[in-house]
Chain A
Amino acid sequence: MDFSLSEERKMLQETIARFFENHYDNINKHHINGNLPNGFDNNLWQESADLGIISALVSPNFGGLGGTGEDISIVFELIGKSLCVEPFLSTAVLSNTVLTSIPNPKSNLISKIIEGNLLISFAHSEMNSRYEESHIETKAEFKNDKWLINGDKSFVLNGDSSDQVIVTARIEGNVNDRNGIGIFLLDNKEINKRSYNTIDGYRAAELKFDNSSGELLARDHHALKCIIKANSSGALALSAEALGIMQICFDMTLDYLKTRKQFGKSVGSFQAIQHRMVDMMLEIEQVRSAVMLASSTYQSDETLRDKHISAAKNLVGRVGKLVAEETIQMHGGIAMTWEYSAAHYAKRLIMIDHLMGDSDYHRDRFKVLNRI
């Protein structure tokens, strides 16, 4: 067994770490970029493409230099540490996963993504869905040689500024049927949208389709498989992102406990506080281990992949809550302020449990996959 990263990956990690440290040198960057017209910094996105960060998330089969579970984890742990808001998750993970997993992969689009010249959002969630892979009310019908989409998609990450959007829609059957699903590629310019920032400062949009025409990418069991894989890739990326955030939260808290003095001594000198820090530390090590396991089996068969990703994301939900709440509580009032970055790390950590399946969803999915 070898738990260390290869030399190549270590170099990748160092390069990307430096990139984020330089561009996200303080918490204001998170707010400033999140409030730009597109909800992120276009120049930074282009630079990250030039540096090969997007390429690191794409398989060599499609012109990338990575795309393994390890690569996703390395990049997203660093994204977590920086609270970077650029569209890595929406375009480089979710849409990339769909475009490379459909029966006829879209190599030309992926090349453009790697170059930083194309943004594609993945629109699967709906207002009444709760992370389910097959809850799809949006309808698709074939009429006059065209696929027409009607309905609404919700919480679409970077859905306001992406060039194109991948939409899951129901061709036939009832809302929760696992058959009769299609995946379509639409030009996003024509779509009615309402954009907003999420409470943790990331851009999303509500999309409304009114006879919007799209290209069919996959249908039926191919489509379902792609949705499941996209959600799993997103859940893995978010788990790694959460791990990065947890480490920052822990380090900031420990640092504060050493410097903050009350009753004539450092707050960290109280045993009751030390024990809580140990609890937090060991839970973070559990998360690190689960993320490593999920990364290592990302390319295995689907059941094992999804089982380990669900294990990681469930743990991330539970430990994320512990770490976010303890970080605020052990800091005290200071971590309730906008000025102090720990507050924003804590918010992101909590809201990660509202994306790509919460701890309950992944516990349930783990239970089901365990029976197979």
Chain B
Amino acid sequence: MNFEYSEKEKVFRDDVKKWLKETLPSTLSEKVKKYQRLNREDYEIFMKNLNDRGWLAWHWPTEYGGTGWSAIEKHIFEEEIINASAPRIVPFGVNMLGPVLIEFGTEEQKKYYLPRILNNEDWWAQGYSEPGAGSDLASLKTRAIDHGDHYIVNGQKTWTTLGQYANKIFCLVKTDINSKPQSGISFLLIDMDTPGIEVKPIVTLDGEHEVNEVWFTDVKVPKKNLVGKENEGWTCAKYLLTFERTGIAGVPYSKSALNLLKIISKKSFKNGKPLIEDPVFSSEIAELEIDLLAMEIFNLRIVSQASEGKAPGMESSLLKIKGTLVRQRTTELLRKALGPQALPYLPEQFDEGWNDMPIGPDYAGPIAKQYFNMRKISIYGGSNEIQKNIVAKASFGL
């Protein structure tokens, strides 16, 4: 056993770091650090820079513009972009649809859509969940009826992240309502400008608008926008859901939150002493760090299996469960560390260019908000309950 990164990997990490330092505008990383609201351009600048460097589609096969990186290198890359406080790579086009098109798309679809994804000409949204189809995604009801050379789509999608910026959406739709839930589903590419589509914002419990409802009323979609075979869209959906899940544990996020937690625990006082000297609180920090230490190795074990060509299966479910719990725990301890300083909330402080005096220390503002916002991570992308079902079904033989 050797847990050290190789020389080549270390050099790679330095290259990524250096590149990020040179190209990521400091105004942008500041916004990310302060949890300020990002606009469309903020995301696009970073993705354009990545594409110029040839790193946007880092996990696509090389013949389509991928990097050919090993699983470890991909992992390092993901860590470094988070460490640099870059905006996240909007995953719907490049990370989700791209691989599906490469695997199931026609030559024409690949030729048309893949370059547009790389050049940020299209902003894709994901049309999976519906009000009645969350954990049970296969029970979706949005219908596409065959009209010869096109479909007519009716229904509603929900939790569409950043759908307010999207000009395209890939959707799972029901093309055969008489078959079993998982068959009769097709994977359709829909232009958001088509008449009959309406995007309505969903405001989340922290007062932010990131997710949307998308309504379809008699939306005409040409048949050439079908990906894979009709009624076999579930294969695409599953492929997409299992693709590149090694970053799912969010280890770098938890690590940076742990660092902040230590800083705050030194600056906060309890009974006249730094909070970090409180035996109970420091024990809680220590146990969080122990969980995180173990999880990082767990994550690397799965990454290195992937680099040997083994597809991560139920392990990614285990990582998702533990990863979200640990990340949520960091937000909880941060909130606790602040004590009453967690109470004030200035919504305007998350606007770009806000320069007023914060209430209390500058790190306090986003913390309670983040705690509430992070409740979502154990719900989305297959709730932790669903992940447990997957693991139990895959491994116990019960």
Cβ of A132 within 8 Å of any chain B Cβ, yes or no, is yes
The answer on a CB contact under 8 Å between B342 and A329 is: no
Q: How far is the CA of A360 from the CA of B136 in the complex (A)?
A: 40
Cβ of B395 within 8 Å of any chain A Cβ, yes or no, is no
The answer on a CB contact under 8 Å between A262 and B134 is: yes
Q: Which of B136, B271, B343 contacts A262 (CB 8 A)?
A: B136
Q: Which of A131, A175, A337, A363 contacts B203 (CB 8 A)?
A: A337
Tally of B interface residues using CB under 8 Å: 49
Q: Which of B204, B269, B272, B388 contacts A336 (CB 8 A)?
A: B204
Cβ of B368 within 8 Å of any chain A Cβ, yes or no, is yes
Q: Which of A269-286 contact B (CB under 8 A)?
A: 272-273
Q: Which of A129-185 contact B (CB under 8 A)?
A: 129-132, 135, 154-155, 175-176
Cβ of B378 within 8 Å of any chain A Cβ, yes or no, is yes
* B-contact 0/1 string along A174-214, CB 8 Å cutoff: 01100000000000000000101111000010100000000
Cβ of A304 within 8 Å of any chain B Cβ, yes or no, is no
> Given the known A-B contacts A343-B205, A358-B336, A360-B336, are A351 and B342 also in contact in the complex, defined by CB atoms under 8 Å?
yes
Chain B: which residue is nearest A363 at the CB level?
B280
The answer on a CB contact under 8 Å between B375 and A328 is: yes
Cβ of A115 within 8 Å of any chain B Cβ, yes or no, is no
Q: Which of B274-324 contact A (CB under 8 A)?
A: 275, 278, 280-281
Residue of A131, A135, A338 most packed against chain B (CB within 10 A): A338
Q: Which of A154, A273, A344 contacts B205 (CB 8 A)?
A: A344
> Given the known A-B contacts A176-B272, A204-B343, A262-B135, are A332 and B383 also in contact in the complex, defined by CB atoms under 8 Å?
yes
The answer on a CB contact under 8 Å between B269 and A128 is: yes
Q: Which of A154, A264, A325 contacts B375 (CB 8 A)?
A: A325
Cβ of B270 within 8 Å of any chain A Cβ, yes or no, is yes
CB neighbours (8 Å) of A347 from chain B are: 205, 372
CB neighbours (8 Å) of A135 from chain B are: 271-272
A331 to chain B, nearest CB (A): 9
CB neighbours (8 Å) of B115 from chain A are: none
The answer on a CB contact under 8 Å between B378 and A354 is: no
Cβ of B339 within 8 Å of any chain A Cβ, yes or no, is yes
> Given the known A-B contacts A194-B359, A333-B134, A350-B371, are A199 and B376 also in contact in the complex, defined by CB atoms under 8 Å?
no
B12 to chain A, nearest CB (A): 37
Chain A: which residue is nearest B129 at the CB level?
A333
The answer on a CB contact under 8 Å between B136 and A263 is: yes
CB neighbours (8 Å) of A198 from chain B are: 343-345
CB neighbours (8 Å) of A261 from chain B are: 132
The answer on a CB contact under 8 Å between A155 and B136 is: no
> Given the known A-B contacts A155-B344, A332-B135, are A199 and B369 also in contact in the complex, defined by CB atoms under 8 Å?
yes
Chain B: which residue is nearest A273 at the CB level?
B385
Cβ of A251 within 8 Å of any chain B Cβ, yes or no, is no
CB neighbours (8 Å) of A346 from chain B are: 205, 372
Chain A: which residue is nearest B158 at the CB level?
A333
CB neighbours (8 Å) of B263 from chain A are: none
Cβ of A48 within 8 Å of any chain B Cβ, yes or no, is no
The answer on a CB contact under 8 Å between B272 and A155 is: no
> Given the known A-B contacts A154-B360, A360-B281, are A125 and B340 also in contact in the complex, defined by CB atoms under 8 Å?
yes
The answer on a CB contact under 8 Å between A354 and B202 is: no
Q: Which of B379-395 contact A (CB under 8 A)?
A: 379-380, 383-385, 388
A315 to chain B, nearest CB (A): 16
The answer on a CB contact under 8 Å between B375 and A329 is: yes
Cβ of B346 within 8 Å of any chain A Cβ, yes or no, is yes
The answer on a CB contact under 8 Å between B383 and A360 is: no
The answer on a CB contact under 8 Å between A130 and B204 is: no
The answer on a CB contact under 8 Å between A336 and B205 is: yes
CB neighbours (8 Å) of B342 from chain A are: 199, 351, 354
Cβ of B231 within 8 Å of any chain A Cβ, yes or no, is no
Q: Which of A220-278 contact B (CB under 8 A)?
A: 261-264, 272-273
> Given the known A-B contacts A336-B204, A343-B205, are A199 and B375 also in contact in the complex, defined by CB atoms under 8 Å?
no
Chain B: which residue is nearest A127 at the CB level?
B360
B267 to chain A, nearest CB (A): 10
Cβ of A50 within 8 Å of any chain B Cβ, yes or no, is no
Q: How far is the CA of A328 from the CA of B383 in the complex (A)?
A: 12
CB neighbours (8 Å) of B136 from chain A are: 262-263
A75 to chain B, nearest CB (A): 22
CB neighbours (8 Å) of A332 from chain B are: 134-135, 379, 383
* A-contact 0/1 string along B139-163, CB 8 Å cutoff: 1000000000000000000110000
A125 to chain B, nearest CB (A): 6
CB neighbours (8 Å) of A336 from chain B are: 204-205, 375-376, 379
Cβ of A17 within 8 Å of any chain B Cβ, yes or no, is no
Cβ of B268 within 8 Å of any chain A Cβ, yes or no, is yes
A363 to chain B, nearest CB (A): 8
B174 to chain A, nearest CB (A): 16
The answer on a CB contact under 8 Å between A196 and B359 is: yes
Chain A: which residue is nearest B268 at the CB level?
A130
The answer on a CB contact under 8 Å between B339 and A131 is: yes
Cβ of A14 within 8 Å of any chain B Cβ, yes or no, is no
Chain B: which residue is nearest A360 at the CB level?
B280
The answer on a CB contact under 8 Å between A354 and B343 is: yes
> Given the known A-B contacts A130-B270, A333-B159, A337-B203, are A199 and B360 also in contact in the complex, defined by CB atoms under 8 Å?
no
CB neighbours (8 Å) of A363 from chain B are: 280
Residue of B203, B332, B379 most packed against chain A (CB within 10 A): B379
The answer on a CB contact under 8 Å between B385 and A127 is: no
Cβ of B242 within 8 Å of any chain A Cβ, yes or no, is no
Q: How far is the CA of A201 from the CA of B278 in the complex (A)?
A: 31
The answer on a CB contact under 8 Å between A351 and B343 is: yes
Chain A: which residue is nearest B205 at the CB level?
A343
B159 to chain A, nearest CB (A): 6
Cβ of A21 within 8 Å of any chain B Cβ, yes or no, is no
Q: How far is the CA of A204 from the CA of B344 in the complex (A)?
A: 8
Cβ of B207 within 8 Å of any chain A Cβ, yes or no, is yes
Cβ of B49 within 8 Å of any chain A Cβ, yes or no, is no
The answer on a CB contact under 8 Å between B345 and A199 is: yes
A272 to chain B, nearest CB (A): 7
The 4 closest A-B pairs by CB, nearest first: A343-B205, A262-B136, A199-B345, A338-B203
Task: List 16 A-B pairs, Cβ < 8 Å.
Answer: A128-B269, A204-B343, A261-B132, A262-B134, A263-B139, A272-B388, A273-B385, A328-B379, A329-B379, A332-B379, A333-B159, A335-B205, A337-B204, A351-B342, A354-B335, A358-B339
Given contacts A130-B340, A154-B360, A272-B385, 10 further A-B contacts (CB under 8 A): A130-B269, A130-B270, A198-B345, A204-B343, A204-B344, A336-B375, A338-B207, A339-B203, A351-B368, A358-B339
